[in-house]
Chains A and B, each alone.
Chain A
Amino acid sequence: MNVRSQIAMTFHLDKCIGCHTCSIACKNIWTDRKGTEYMWWNNVETKPGTGYPALWEDQEKFKGGWEKNKGKLRLKSTGKARIVANIFHNPSQPSMDDYYEPWTYDYQNLFNAPEGDDQPTAKPISMVTGEYIDIESGPNWDDDLSGTPAYAKNDPNLSTLTEQQRQQLSAIEQMVFFYFPRICNHCLNPACVASCPSGALYKRGEDGIVLVDQKRCRAWRSCIAACPYKKVFYNWSTGKSEKCILCYPRIETGQAPACFHSCVGRIRYLGVLLYDADRIEEIARLSDEGLIEGHRSMILDPNDDKVIAGARANGIQESVIKAAQESPVYQFVKVWKLALPPHIEFRTLPMLFYVPPMSPVMAAQKDGKLKSVTDEFFHDIEESRVPLEFLANLFGAGQTEPVLYALKKQKAVRWYRRAVTVGDITMETAKKMLAAADCSVEEAEAIYKLTSLCTVDDRFVIPPSHREEALEALQDPMVRKQEAGFGFVSGPHRGL
């Protein structure tokens, strides 16, 4: 057992209102520089929908992630031999057209336009070329458009759905969609890291944050194609790859990342997970059916004496172990089994987990009658307007059981709380539902508390980074003496 610590995340999709505050917080801090305008390290997608970059989940097109080849794991887009042959032209590289051409507006025209018959307009200008452009797509082009078949029907997750299930989604006046905020998953088996010819991408040992060493990146751009979530971006101006850094300067000072902190719906949770690093490859090679359970099994119980001893032996501090014991993510992922990894069939073992959303249906119209509570407690989940199959393709590697489990439990908790506070349901019924959803009363209370009444400190249990033990702290403190002074720092500019 090789115990490592990872800062992991849970997004509670049932609480996401799709306000994009997270995206804006991130953009304002990190990606408002030249060459990064088109990047959205954090973005919120409407599902069903094609997302950003369009159709990123379609790995026939983008060749992201891993595949099993004769029992062995290999990158879909590249590999040791293929990297040499394709270094001059990467055949699976997405281009700016797959994202969008960033633009601003010629606002001055509103003031300076000569007198005329028409209202002057602010014409869009490309932020790459500076020329006037026609806007043809954007980072959120199909936002809230899931009911319109023109966009939603292209969602790759719909591929295995029956015609009837598709009808369920887009029936007139029954448009249904949910929001899917995405950042880098800071995976345990990152395809971006594995594909980088320069070794510029790496996973930080102490907290598992995946970073790009800007001084070692040489723009071989393998990572862009290799990441199945398309969360590594190419800065076309500096000629370097960039990605979500999980706001590590904030984490190291005890603050939650900007997207977490700004979240209006308080859907985001952050905490430590301890995991067994020796099992990464073994788990990533499992069959699709075994992936979710396998992934969960490599996350270790932070209260287990053996695990604690292993953590100590690996130099993990007491404070980090304590943070792991209090981690909200551990509760959601391992204890309650409510949170599921997105597209784990890409085999990168993501460390961002999603609580699947409930469809907002308490009653459905059938034969002109309103059908509400029946003897069958969970009927509306299986008949849900967001078909279970769809959620299974997104969060269950095609398996409906783990998604159904998470949805049942969520519903049972809701009805239990309804029995407690509203009282229109008997406690007997509520407890029956809890039992059917594999949930005790204590657990239901804990889920309710962490979902609905959570404070900042409940949601973000950030371990101290112990930078006092970092390499630089062990250097001779006098080593930089007499070197500081006035001078110039060169910015991250292209070429010499």
Chain B
Amino acid sequence: MDSSGLLLDQILFGVFPYVALFTFFFVTIQRYRIHKFTFSSLSSQFLENKTHFWGMVPFHYGLIVVLTGHIMMFLLPKLVLNWNSVPVRLYILEAVMFAFAALSFIGIIALIRRRMNNTKVRMVTSPTDWLLLVFLLIQIVLGLYMALFHRWGSSWFSGAMTPYLWSIAKFSPDVNYVTALPLAVKLHIINAFILIGIFPFTRLVHVLVAPNPYLWRRHQVVRWYKNRSLIAKLRDRV
């Protein structure tokens, strides 16, 4: 490989991830601190409730399963490799992943159609929303393409991607793991970091405020504008 190609790889896989990650953390924290009001899923179900289900549900469930798969391969590569050591199990895993990715593809197509065709929903769609949809669509299409033409990603991920991602996490990026990968895979990686970089500027931030505490909190919520115990103490002192 000539040196210009190497330099480009260095920039795309060695430098750009840090730009994206820095933007992600810095802007997300600042946005949460200063513009807390803007953290919302910005649901448009109220404006259009008929086709909403057919886009929203497959898209989200598809993406959640696929993302969980990616994270598993990053964090527990040995577990996944062990599972894949029996071919049947590998096929099952890949088939399930492909099915959910296809689900998210169907979902995002439905969502894009809905946003284009329904006037009311179009009114609450910003340029950032369109940008986000395009990048997400590219990512899903690339993922599906890889699953078909660069097969058994759940196995080769741990050989190429896991060490690469860890090298980034350890602040000593080693682009050699990825330079030889096929173009579709490289684009998938770059697009992933683009998504991470634009994440805090988009409605994606709603992912970070997923309402887990609801599952264990009491039904009723009461808030006091007085600190009653402190007031009682102060009263006793007087």
- Co-complex (A, B): yes
* CB-based nearest A residue for B218: A194
- Which residues of B in the span 62-116 have a Cβ within 8 Å of any Cβ on A? none
Contacts A88-B60, A205-B222, A315-B226 given; indicate if A494 touches B42 (C-beta within 8 A). Answer: yes
**A131 within 8 A of partner (CB):** yes
Bound-state CA distance A196–B59 (Å) is 23
**Residues of chain A with a CB closer than 8 A to B124's CB:** 236-237, 494
- Of all chain B residues, which has the CB nearest A90? B45
Interface check A280, CB cutoff 8 A: yes
How many B residues face the partner with a CB closer than 8 A? 54
Whether a CB of chain A sits under 8 angstroms from the CB of B37 is yes
CA distance A234 to B40 in the complex (A): 12
Partner of B35, one of A196, A202, A469, A490: A490
- Interchain CA distance A239-B47 in the complex, whole Å: 11
Give which listed residue, B35, B36, B220, contacts A280 with CB less than 8 A.
B220
Q: Contacts A95-B45, A96-B47; is A128 near B227 (CB within 8 Å)? A: no
Cross-chain contact A194 with B220 (CB below 8 angstroms) = yes
Candidates B120, B126, B226; contact of A470 at CB < 8 Å:
B226
CA distance A89 to B211 in the complex (A): 15
The answer to whether the Cβ of B228 comes within 8 Å of any Cβ in the partner chain is yes
**Least CB distance, B108 to chain A, in whole angstroms:** 13
Q: Which residues of B contact A (CB under 8 A)?
A: 31, 35-49, 52-53, 56-57, 59-61, 119-120, 122-124, 126, 128, 200-203, 206, 209, 211, 213-215, 217, 219-228, 230-232
- Binary B-proximity of A145-158 (CB < 8 A = 1, otherwise 0): 00000000000000
CA distance A83 to B225 in the complex (A): 29
Q: Is the CB of A80 within 8 A of B226?
A: no
A-B residue pair count with CB separations less than 8 angstroms: 160
Residue contact B223 to A204, C-beta cutoff 8 Å:
yes
Contact A239 B43, CB 8 Å, known A80-B215, A205-B222, A496-B201: yes
CB pair B47 A469 closer than 8 Å: no
Interchain CB contact under 8 A, B220 and A189: yes
Check A219 against B43 for contact (C-beta < 8 Å). Answer: yes
Query: In angstroms, how far is the closest chain B Cβ from the Cβ of A485?
Result: 17
When each residue 172-212 of chain A gets 1 if its CB lies under 8 Å from chain B and 0 otherwise, what string results?
00000000000000000110011011110111111000000
Partner of B37, one of A83, A131, A202, A215: A215
Q: Is the CB of A203 within 8 A of B120?
A: no
| Contact assessment for A239 and B40 in the assembled complex, using a CB-CB cutoff below 8 Å | yes
Instruction: Check A193 against B220 for contact (C-beta < 8 Å).
Output: yes
Q: Kindly list the 6 A-B residue pairs having the minimum CB-CB distance in the complex, ordered from nearest.
A: A197-B211, A95-B49, A205-B224, A239-B42, A239-B40, A194-B219
B209: contacting residue among A198, A221, A238, A469, CB under 8 A: A198
Kindly provide the distance from the CB of B118 to the nearest chain A CB, expressed in whole angstroms.
10
- Give Cα A85–Cα B137 distance, bound, in whole angstroms: 24
Do residues A80 and B37 form an inter-chain contact, with CB atoms below 8 A? no
**Which of A202, A215, A239 contacts B41, CB < 8 Å?**
A239
A interface residues with partner B (beta carbon < 8 Å): 80, 83-84, 87-91, 93-97, 128-131, 189-190, 193-194, 196-199, 201-206, 214-215, 217-221, 224, 234, 236-240, 280, 314-315, 466-467, 469-471, 474, 490, 492-496
Tell whether, in the assembled complex, residue B231 and residue A315 are in contact, meaning their CB atoms are under 8 Å apart. Answer: yes
Known contacts A89-B56, A202-B221, A239-B42, A95 near B47 by CB under 8 Å: yes
Does the CB pair A214–B37 fall under 8 Å?
Answer: yes
Docked Cα-Cα span, A473 to B56, in Å, equals 46
B79 nearest CB across to chain A (Å): 25
Cα A65 to Cα B162 with chains together (Å): 49
Q: In the complex, A471 Cα to B228 Cα: how many Å?
A: 9
B44 touches A495 (CB 8 A): no
Given A80-B214, A88-B56, A471-B227 in contact, is the A199-B47 Cβ separation under 8 Å?
no
- Given A89-B52, A239-B40, A466-B226, residue A495 in contact with residue B220 (CB < 8 A): no
A198 touching B214 by the CB < 8 A rule?
yes
Interface pairs (11), CB distance under 8 Å: A128-B47, A202-B222, A206-B226, A214-B37, A224-B46, A236-B47, A314-B228, A315-B231, A494-B124, A495-B126, A496-B202
Please state if B221 and A203 are interface contacts (CB–CB under 8 Å). yes
Using CB atoms, name the residue of chain A closest to B221: A202
| A190 to B31 CA separation, bound complex (whole angstroms) | 31
Shortest Cβ distance from B113 into chain A, in angstroms?
A: 16
Chain A residues lying within 8 Å of B44, measured Cβ to Cβ, are: 236
Residues in B whose Cβ lies below 8 Å from that of A90: 45
A88 — which chain B residues lie within 8 A by C-beta?
56-57, 59-61
**Complex Cα–Cα for A88 and B201 (A):** 21
A68 to chain B, nearest CB (A): 14
A130 partner residues in chain B, CB cutoff 8 A: 123
User: A220 contacts B220, CB within 8 Å?
Assistant: no
B200: chain A residues within 8 A (beta carbon): 496
Q: Which of A83, A87, A214, A492: most chain B CB closer than 10 A?
A: A87
Closest chain B CB from A320 CB (angstroms): 12
Chain B: minimal CB distance from A349 (Å): 11
**Residue numbers in A under 8 Å from B215 (CB-CB):** 80, 83-84
Contacts of A196 in B (CB 8 A): 214, 221
> With A and B bound together, what is the CA distance between A202 and B218 in angstroms?
12
Q: How far is the CA of A80 from the CA of B41 in the complex (A)?
A: 19
Q: Beyond A88-B60, A206-B226, is A220–B211 a contact (Cβ under 8 Å)? A: yes
- Chain A's nearest CB lies how many Å from the CB of B14? 29
Cα of A471 to Cα of B85 in the assembled complex, Å = 61
